[in-house]
Amino acid sequence: MGFLAALGLVGSGLFAVQVARGRSALPKWAAVITPGFFTVVVSLVGLASPNPEAFAALSANVAHVFFCGGLLVAARRVREDAA
């Protein structure tokens, strides 16, 4: 495993733990929305494709798109609940 992959997994883990413990304004379900989780999901989906190498190369980028999108949804819901 590369250094950057390990660093990404550690960062995803720290994010998940802090959100799950309630140390952020995000709802606890947002702890699942991590780049590490989405990288694994995209990579697993890629295994079923005819060109899994393409999925492996793009999985981190796609994961961050899903991560940022998920955070936008979570933040919008937090704001709506506060209003």
The mean pLDDT of the chain is 82
For 26-55, the pLDDT digits (tens) are 888 888 888 888 888 888 888 888 887 877
Q: How many CB atoms lie within 10 A of CB 23?
A: 9
Cα separation, 24 vs 3, whole angstroms = 28
Q: How many domains does the structure of the chain reveal?
A: 1
For 48-66, the pLDDT digits (tens) are 888 878 777 777 788 888 8
56: left (phi over 0), alpha (psi -120 to 50) or beta: alpha
Domain membership of residue 13 as a residue range: 3-82
Cα separation, 74 vs 83, whole angstroms = 14
Say whether pLDDT at 2 is over 60: yes
Q: Distance between alpha carbon 6 and the CA centroid of its chain, in Å? A: 14
Residue 83 DSSP symbol: -
